[in-house]
Homo-oligomer: A and B are copies of this chain.
Amino acid sequence: MNNYTTILRAHGLKVTPQRLAISDAIGTHGHIKIEDLYTLMLKEFSSISLATIYKNINVMVQNSFIQEVKIPHTKSVYELTKEAHSHLVCSECTEVEDISLDIYDFINKADSQTSFLIQKADVVFSGICKKCQ
Contact = CB atoms under 8 A, between A and B. Distances in A.
Contacts of A116: 88, 90, 97, 125, 127-130
Interface stretch (A8-16, A49-57, A105-113): A105-113
A125 B120 contact: yes
Contact of A110 (B70, B86, B91, B119): B86
A110 B88 contact: yes
Contacts of A100: 113
Protomer copies: 2
Interface in A14-52: none
A113 B85 CA distance: 13
Among A71, A107, A111, A121, max chain B CB count under 10 A is at A121
Contact of A122 (B68, B120, B126): B126
Contacts of A1: none
Interface of A: 68, 70-72, 86, 88, 90-91, 97, 99-101, 106-107, 109-111, 113-130, 133
